């Protein structure tokens, strides 16, 4: 029989291994969008290598949909937590696999069309890996915040069906998203209502009018542009709300399904507004993810989302009855609902 101290050590080892293994199994691996080197790369540093990080839904839990996530940051940085990781986790609760993109930036000397190429490549990459992640290649959306919203609207208005003869299997895939979610997005490059920092980082200090118009995505909408859900705060002093309004109006004029949710207050950069990852904790702003989820479900992007079909009227009534922290999905109950300050579902 083993000595007591040895037995205790073995027990501790087994317990620690049991706790660690599940974490290792769910660890995400960042992948290069171009393993052989990205086109237009200025070097071999991390800033020269665009990547994509998968956050797949657990086996048997997904509905086949996927969303490519573009964090914001004015084309000079990337808000990878509250506009990348946290939205990916939220999408997972909907049964949607998420893929967070680290695209190249103006702060590293990259100008258009580099950022667009990275965004298009990310959509192609997800479709080319659809079987691996249990994804329907015809249900791949994009989500972008701020400048990431500009990139999401760019790939929604500048796309192709892929090159069937390409040696690279990823390049054979089309890069048109099936829908877009745009959070307080930069849409235009028009100096009258753009975000000046994003325009400078993307187009440089003396862009031609042709280039300005091409990347003013409200001017690039057609009847083939993917449906969009947009959200914006009216008091956004960084990216004027007119950006979202202009894109929404262009979509509606061309008969494209669109929804625009405006909040009276919220400023800029609020992410999920749930107090996680640097986002503010605002129960009013925090209603938008549920509204976006219901919109995606209504549009048919989810095959199975029965939890979203619970009558909204009863949920809205609860907001008036109790002080709430937010509105979200509870995995343990399999339902949407308002969450109070103690984290309990109402």
8 A C-beta contact, residue 30 and residue 53: yes
At residue 304, the pLDDT reads 55
Query: Does the residue 4 lie in any domain?
Result: no
Mean pLDDT taken over the chain: 86
8 A C-beta contact, residue 69 and residue 98: yes
Please determine, for residue 6, whether its predicted confidence score (pLDDT) is greater than 50. no
Query: Does the residue 76 lie in any domain?
Result: yes
Q: Mean pLDDT across the stretch 113-120?
A: 98
8 A C-beta contact, residue 85 and residue 116: no
Query: Does the residue 321 lie in any domain?
Result: no
pLDDT-derived band at 152, boundaries 50, 70, 90: very high
Tell me the percentage of the chain whose pLDDT exceeds 90: 78
At residue 225, the pLDDT reads 98
| Rounded Cα distance, 71 and 86, in Å | 10
At residue 307, the pLDDT reads 42
Query: Does the residue 264 lie in any domain?
Result: yes
8 A C-beta contact, residue 216 and residue 336: no
pLDDT-derived band at 59, boundaries 50, 70, 90: confident
Query: Does the residue 112 lie in any domain?
Result: yes
3-state secondary structure string, the chain?
Answer: CCCHHHHHHHHHHHHHHHHHHHHHHHCCCCEECCCCCCCCCCCCCHHHCCEEEEECCCCCCCCCCEEEEECCCCCCCCCCHHHHHHHHHHHHHCCCEEEEEECCCHHHCCCCCHHHHHHHHHHHHHHHCHHHHCCCCCCEEEEEECHHHHHHHHHHHCCCCCCCCCCCHHHHCCCCCCCEEEECCCCCCCCCCCCHHHHHHHHCCCCCHHHHHHCCHHHCCCCCCCCEEEEEECCCCCCCCHHHHHHHHHHHHCCCCEEEEEECCCCCCCCCCECCCCCCECCCHHHHHHHHHHHHHHCCCCCCCHHHHCCHHHHHHHHHHCCEEEEEEECCCCEEEEEECCCCEC
Query: Does the residue 110 lie in any domain?
Result: yes
Please determine, for residue 279, whether its predicted confidence score (pLDDT) is greater than 60. yes
63 prior amide bond cis, ω within 30: no
Query: Does the residue 109 lie in any domain?
Result: yes
Please determine, for residue 342, whether its predicted confidence score (pLDDT) is greater than 70. no
Radius of gyration of the chain (CA): 21
pLDDT-derived band at 27, boundaries 50, 70, 90: very low
At residue 208, the pLDDT reads 98
Question: What's the domain count of the chain?
Answer: 1
pLDDT-derived band at 4, boundaries 50, 70, 90: low
Q: Which domain holds residue 210?
A: 28-306
At residue 216, the pLDDT reads 98
- What's the CATH code of the domain at 181? 3.40.50.1820
Please determine, for residue 121, whether its predicted confidence score (pLDDT) is greater than 50. yes
Q: Mean pLDDT across the stretch 170-184?
A: 98
**265 or 19, which is more confident?**
265
At residue 19, the pLDDT reads 35
Query: Does the residue 94 lie in any domain?
Result: yes
- Give the range among 9-18, 52-61, 97-106, 147-156 with minimum mean pLDDT: 9-18
| Rounded Cα distance, 100 and 81, in Å | 10
At residue 3, the pLDDT reads 53
pLDDT-derived band at 120, boundaries 50, 70, 90: very high
Please determine, for residue 336, whether its predicted confidence score (pLDDT) is greater than 90. no
């Amino acid at each position: 029989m083993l000595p007591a101290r040895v037995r205790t050590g073995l027990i501790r080892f087994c317990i620690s291994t049991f706790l660690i293994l599940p974490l290792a199994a769910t660890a995400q691996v960042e992948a290069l969008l171009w393993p052989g080197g990205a086109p237009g790369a200025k070097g071999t540093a991390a800033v020269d290598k665009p990547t994509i990080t998968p956050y797949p839904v657990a086996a048997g839990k997904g509905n086949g949909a996927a969303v490519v996530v573009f964090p914001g940051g004015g084309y000079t940085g990337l808000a990878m937590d509250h506009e990348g990781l946290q939205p990916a986790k939220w999408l997972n609760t909907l049964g949607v696999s998420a893929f967070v993109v680290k695209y190249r930036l103006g702060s590293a000397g990259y100008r258009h069309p580099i950022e667009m190429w990275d965004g298009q490549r990310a959509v192609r990459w997800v479709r080319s890996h659809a079987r691996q992640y249990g994804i329907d290649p015809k249900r791949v959306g994009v989500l972008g915040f701020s400048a990431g919203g500009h990139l999401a609207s760019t790939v929604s208005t500048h796309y192709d069906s892929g090159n069937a003869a390409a040696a690279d299997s990823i390049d054979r895939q089309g890069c048109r998203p099936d829908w877009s979610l745009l959070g307080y997005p930069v849409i235009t490059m028009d100096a009258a209502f753009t975000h000046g920092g994003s325009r400078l980082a993307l187009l440089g200090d003396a862009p031609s009018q042709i280039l300005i118009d091409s990347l003013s995505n409200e001017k690039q909408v057609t009847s083939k542009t993917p449906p969009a859900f947009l959200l914006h705060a009216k008091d956004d002093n960084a990216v004027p709300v007119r950006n979202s309004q202009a894109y929404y109006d262009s979509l509606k004029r061309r008969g494209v399904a669109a929804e625009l949710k405006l909040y009276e207050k919220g400023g800029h950069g609020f992410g999920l507004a749930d107090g996680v990852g640097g986002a503010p904790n605002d129960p009013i702003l925090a209603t938008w993810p549920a509204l976006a989820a219901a919109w995606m479900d209504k549009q048919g992007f989810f095959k199975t989302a029965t939890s979203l079909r619970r009558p909204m009227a009863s949920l809205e009534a609860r907001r008036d009855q109790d002080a709430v922290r937010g509105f979200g999905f509870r995995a343990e109950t399999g339902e949407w609902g308002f969450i109070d300050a103690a984290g309990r579902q109402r």
